[in-house]
Amino acid sequence: MAGLFAALEASSLGPVLLATKAELHEGNTRHAQGGIAAAIGPGDSPEQHLADTVAAGAGLVNEENARILVESASRRISDLRRYGVHFDSEGVGPAFGREGAHGQARVLHALGDRTGAAVETALAEQVKNGRVVIYEHTLAVEIVMVEGQTVGIRALEQQSGIEHFFEASAVILATGGAGAAFSHTTNTPVATGDGISLAFAAGAEVTDLEFYQFHPTAFRQEGAPPFLISEALRGEGAVLRNHRGQAFMGRYHELADLAPRDIVARAMISEMRASNSDHIWLDCTVLNNLNPIERFPGIASFCRERGIDLRKDHIPVAPAAHYLMGGVRTDNWGRTTVPGLYACGESAATGVHGANRLASNSLLETVVFAKRAVEHIESNTGGAMPPSSDSIPFLPAGGAPVDISTIQRLLWKHAGIERTGQELRAGLAVVRAWPMNPRVVSRENHELAWLSIFAELLLTAALIREESRGAHFRTDFPQRDDERWGRHLVFHRAD
């Protein structure tokens, strides 16, 4: 969504090339269910949306940028409508869903729970019919710099093996998150954190990589593909139940099933441990006055194919890696610390999510900051985000395992929902021992190399942060420590 929106908006400025390593429609957007948070309903206000965003972010939200996020929502929703997105309505106005830690029902959705697919289809149609030059199956392998300025990218056209140099006055990274780095995830396999490692290699600062949000309710059944079971179901009254059939969330938080995601995920882990099971049940038979099949057609159909009827059965769910709050450090114009290099969407760390993202703020972030990156490029003022004064120089070990499942198991075990210094150190020792074999140039090998760098950075950041905050939970440091850790960890490449 970030890439498509940026390309569309930039296409009035001059020639735009959009390179994607897969096909245009592949990416996490397509799988987004809940929707887009926007304080545009009666009784709501950007101020309330801001307060919820700041509270969810556990002390690390950049409030200036978060204010831009919530105050731009109405204009960006109008842009999406102009590009052909039809949001679901109720009566004469839009229908608003509710999700965890939101004080109001303010989540716009489309085609029920197929919001991401509706948005992605509409934007992709516009891009295909417009002036943007599209290169599919073309993997960016290097951000090319001359005298400290971005001058384009080197990219590998995978089918022909041809490597291109695409010259550009500005490069916008919109490469998404890195959920594919974990054994259990709601993300698509293309989410391998490429942009983070590419930007890091070009000298850009990266930050907040220890903050990986685990969504409490991913479908969990042996052999089933990754699939999100939207929090919007709990927003409509669905209830988590343990193996004794008890609704347990009230024992953990006053907001019960709509508590912040980190709290729900840890409560589930604790209940799963108590019953020695790898899942919990989501009971959707108790929804408030609505038919789950109509409101959640995507989830209903996925479950039906596995013999589960939402009207009478419970869904097996467990937490899974979902969203990276951190990424390439940017200012509120999408500028990284490298001149000419911009980032937006999940690959960027704008600071609006702090240590824990408020549900459905991510799709909003993609359009708000993609738009601002394009506006900044149009202004022709150049420059870069000033580097952080306490950025940590870091040189990755540079090795990689032979397959992605090694990285996935490692991060799930050593840097999952509950972390300890001992586990993180052990994980780092494994990463640093991975061999540095020269390998065939291929998409898979690039992804493995980049994921290895990402894993090492994540483990290091999580080890340094000796406290618990938002999505980062250390059982050996279970308290939040604002005095020592009310700050961001920033890294740049030592060489």
Residues annotated as catalytic are 261
| Residue whose CB is less far from ligand SIN, 361 or 452 | 361
127: its two tokens:
């891009």
Give the residue among 364, 363, 324 at the shortest CA–CA distance from 194: 324
| Eight-class DSSP state of 472 | B
- Residues 341-380, interacting with ligand SIN (CB under 6 A): 359-360, 362
| Residue whose CB is less far from ligand SIN, 358 or 400 | 358
Select from 60, 70, 232, 462 the one that contacts ligand SIN (CB under 6 A).
Answer: 232
- Residues 295-324, interacting with ligand SIN (CB under 6 A): 322-323
Could you tell me the sign of the dihedral formed by the alpha carbons of 24, 458, 32, 77, in that order? negative
Give the residue among 101, 120, 102 at the shortest CA–CA distance from 110: 120
| Residue whose CB is less far from ligand SIN, 40 or 431 | 40
Q: Judged by CB under 6 A, does residue 123 bind ligand SIN?
A: no
61: its two tokens:
């939200």
Q: Judged by CB under 6 A, does residue 257 bind ligand SIN?
A: no
Q: Looking at 66-74, 121-129, 193-201, 229-237, which segment touches ligand SIN (CB under 6 A)?
A: 229-237
As to burial, measured by CB atoms within 10 angstroms (0-12 exposed, 13-18 middle, 19+ buried), residue 127 is buried
Q: Looking at 152-160, 176-184, 226-234, 365-373, which segment touches ligand SIN (CB under 6 A)?
A: 226-234
Note whether 316 and 224 are within 8 A (CB): no
Least distance to ligand SIN, CB of residue 115, Å = 8
| Residue whose CB is less far from ligand SIN, 99 or 447 | 99
Q: 283: helix, coil or strand? A: strand
**b/e string for 205-224 if b means 16 or more Cβ within 10 A?**
bbbbbbbbbbbbbbbbbeee
| Residue whose CB is less far from ligand SIN, 231 or 236 | 231
- Residues 453-492, interacting with ligand SIN (CB under 6 A): none
Q: Looking at 142-150, 228-236, 291-299, 487-495, which segment touches ligand SIN (CB under 6 A)?
A: 228-236
Question: Number of C-alpha atoms within 13 angstroms, CB side, residue 493?
Answer: 18
What values do phi and psi take at 337, rounded to 5?
-85, 5
368: its two tokens:
């708000």
Q: Judged by CB under 6 A, does residue 56 bind ligand SIN?
A: no
- Residue span 170-209 as binding mask against ligand SIN, x where in contact by CB under 6 A, dash where not: ----------------------------------------
- In the block, tokens 């029920």 appear at 112
As to burial, measured by CB atoms within 10 angstroms (0-12 exposed, 13-18 middle, 19+ buried), residue 392 is middle
| Eight-class DSSP state of 212 | E
Q: Judged by CB under 6 A, does residue 231 bind ligand SIN?
A: yes
| Residue whose CB is less far from ligand SIN, 174 or 228 | 228
Which residue, judged by CB position, is nearest to ligand SIN in the bound state? Answer: 34
Least distance to ligand SIN, CB of residue 419, Å = 21
Task: Please tell me the count of residues contacting ligand SIN according to CB under 6 A.
Answer: 11
Least distance to ligand SIN, CB of residue 482, Å = 26
Contacts of 369 (CB under 8 A, 6+ apart): 2, 69, 330, 332, 334, 344, 345, 348, 350
Least distance to ligand SIN, CB of residue 381, Å = 33
Q: Judged by CB under 6 A, does residue 230 bind ligand SIN?
A: yes
Least distance to ligand SIN, CB of residue 445, Å = 31
| Residue whose CB is less far from ligand SIN, 40 or 238 | 238
Least distance to ligand SIN, CB of residue 230, Å = 3
Distances (CA, A) of 5 to 172, 185, 195, 217, 342: 11, 25, 17, 29, 14
- Which residue blocks in 83-190 are alpha helix, DSSP H? 115-128
- Residue span 23-42 as binding mask against ligand SIN, x where in contact by CB under 6 A, dash where not: ----------xx--------
Least distance to ligand SIN, CB of residue 187, Å = 11
CB atoms within 10 A of CB 237: 17
| Residue whose CB is less far from ligand SIN, 1 or 449 | 1
Could you tell me the sign of the dihedral formed by the alpha carbons of 147, 152, 157, 163, in that order? negative
Helices and strands in the chain, H and E counts = 14, 21
Binding site for ligand SIN (CB under 6 A): 33-34, 228, 230-232, 322-323, 359-360, 362
